[in-house]
């Protein structure tokens, strides 16, 4: 019973079926029929022209996006607990050739126009200081919070006003959209987002994430991103198996259904422990006050999860969990001594 992460989940059955269906000879790299359908599929989903690429991982999607949005001598505004800052092993520095992550505070790993503007105001416009050239946010955030379309749009407007490329790490984009019930475009191009890492693996895929570009420069940026993709060793020779997975998740809105399922699972757990929650539960992550003793008790019952600093733990749910799967943990949590 793993609650480490949604990336420990098995593969969604439809994805497995799609892999089998794609198992015929075709052109290599992204010359195949499945890869060729990605732009159209995402354009339909987002109700606007989208340029889409598959890459190996979320780290690659994020960092290729940032490399297209920020020059090596530029800076990228992000939250101080953002995945790109904390958990990508220096990949942003690698892909951008040394661009600077400029970290900002904010509760729940959320940025606001105010914190972004305050930081921009401190940067002198001379060559001694790194100029901000991009802004990246994670939605849902690293604490499972969801930016609303208006909140994203406010940051998008700010980015546009300051000439910053705007990227969204959407490793849990499905969970964000599922929570909001909005149109995906409301968190994308309509809010000024230039590039979106559209998460698939946590949503039921096996390998491969989608990197999307929006807006008038989408095609040019995607062309450049294709150079970066090859250059960083992410151009799979049998790319059709990545494209097929992504298309399977888009088919009949499976991705959003999976996002809803994972969110519902988180709510089921949240109901068991309303007083332990450190953040509102909006997507599929719970941050829970838990003593070392309580954590040990749960682990002894077979539940796995990450500690999150002292006296706290992170529980992540996924699309594959139903009420029956969750009951044991919900029950175990409810039975903990309330302190």
Q: Which of residues 63-82 bind a second copy (CB under 8 A)?
A: 63-64, 71-75
Backbone angles phi, psi at 220, to 5 degrees: -65, -40
C-alpha distance from residue 287 to each of 73, 106, 139, 266 (Å):
36, 16, 16, 11
Pairing of strands 51-55, 75-79: unpaired
For the bound state, the minimum distance from the C-beta of residue 249 to a second copy, rounded and expressed in Å, comes to: 14
Non-local (6+) Cβ contacts of 241 within 8 A are 19, 22, 23, 208
Residues in region 34-63 near a second copy by CB under 8 A? 55-61, 63
Structure tokens at 334: 């409810």
Does position 248 bind a second copy by CB under 8 A? no
Q: Segment near a second copy (CB under 8 A), from 38-46, 233-241, 251-259, 281-289?
A: 233-241
Q: Segment near a second copy (CB under 8 A), from 43-51, 86-94, 104-112, 145-153?
A: 86-94
Query: What whole-number distance in Å separates Cα of residue 182 and Cα of residue 56?
Result: 28
Does position 172 bind a second copy by CB under 8 A? no
Residue 187: which of 95, 256, 128 has the closest Cα?
256
- Residue 2 vs 183, nearer CB to a second copy: 2
Q: Segment near a second copy (CB under 8 A), from 7-15, 40-48, 151-159, 294-302?
A: 7-15
Whether the Cβ atoms of residue 101 and residue 74 lie closer than 8 Å to each other: no
- Residue 55 vs 155, nearer CB to a second copy: 55
Query: What whole-number distance in Å separates Cα of residue 65 and Cα of residue 56?
Result: 13
Query: What whole-number distance in Å separates Cα of residue 122 and Cα of residue 129?
Result: 10
For the bound state, the minimum distance from the C-beta of residue 190 to a second copy, rounded and expressed in Å, comes to: 28
Residues in region 92-151 near a second copy by CB under 8 A? 92-101, 127-131
> x/- string (CB under 8 A) for a second copy, residues 293-332?
----------------------------------------
- Residue 104 vs 152, nearer CB to a second copy: 104
C-alpha distance from residue 151 to each of 180, 191, 302 (Å):
12, 9, 39
For the bound state, the minimum distance from the C-beta of residue 177 to a second copy, rounded and expressed in Å, comes to: 21
Whether the Cβ atoms of residue 206 and residue 13 lie closer than 8 Å to each other: no
- Residue 66 vs 333, nearer CB to a second copy: 66
For the bound state, the minimum distance from the C-beta of residue 206 to a second copy, rounded and expressed in Å, comes to: 5
> x/- string (CB under 8 A) for a second copy, residues 176-215?
-------------------------xx---xxx-------
Residue 76: which of 29, 17, 123 has the closest Cα?
123
SS3 10: coil
For the bound state, the minimum distance from the C-beta of residue 7 to a second copy, rounded and expressed in Å, comes to: 4
């Amino acid at each position: 019973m793993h609650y480490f992460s949604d990336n420990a989940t098995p593969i969604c059955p439809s994805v497995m079926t799609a892999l089998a269906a794609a198992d015929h000879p075709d052109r290599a790299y992204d010359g195949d029929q499945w890869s060729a359908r990605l732009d159209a599929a995402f354009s339909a989903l987002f109700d606007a022209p989208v340029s889409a690429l598959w890459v190996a991982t979320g780290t690659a999607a994020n960092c290729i996006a940032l490399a297209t949005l920020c020059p090596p001598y530029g800076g990228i505004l992000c939250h101080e607990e953002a995945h790109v800052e904390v958990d990508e092993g220096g990949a942003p520095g690698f892909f951008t050739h040394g661009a600077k992550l400029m970290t900002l505070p904010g509760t729940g790993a959320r940025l606001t126009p105010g914190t972004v503007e305050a930081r921009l105001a401190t940067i002198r416009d001379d060559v001694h200081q790194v100029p901000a050239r991009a802004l990246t946010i994670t939605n849902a955030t690293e604490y499972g919070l969801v930016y609303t379309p208006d909140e994203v749009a406010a940051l998008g407007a700010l980015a546009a006003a300051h000439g910053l490329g705007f990227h969204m790490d959407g490793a849990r984009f499905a969970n964000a959209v599922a929570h909001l019930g909005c149109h995906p475009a409301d968190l994308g191009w309509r809010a000024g987002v230039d590039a979106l890492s559209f998460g698939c693996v946590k949503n039921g895929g096996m390998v491969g994430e989608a990197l999307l570009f929006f807006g008038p420069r989408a095609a040019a940026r995607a062309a450049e991103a294709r150079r970066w993709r090859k250059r960083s060793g992410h151009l799979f020779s049998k790319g059709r198996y990545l494209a097929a997975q992504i298309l399977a998740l888009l088919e009949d809105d499976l991705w959003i259904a999976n996002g809803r399922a994972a969110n519902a699972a988180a709510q089921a757990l949240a109901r068991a422990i309303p007083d332990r929650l450190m953040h509102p539960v909006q997507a599929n992550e719970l941050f829970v006050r838990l003593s070392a003793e309580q954590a040990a008790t749960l682990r002894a019952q077979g539940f796995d999860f990450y500690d999150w600093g002292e006296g706290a733990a992170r529980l992540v749910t996924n699309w594959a969990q139903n009420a029956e799967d969750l009951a044991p943990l919900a029950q175990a949590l409810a039975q903990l001594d309330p302190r």
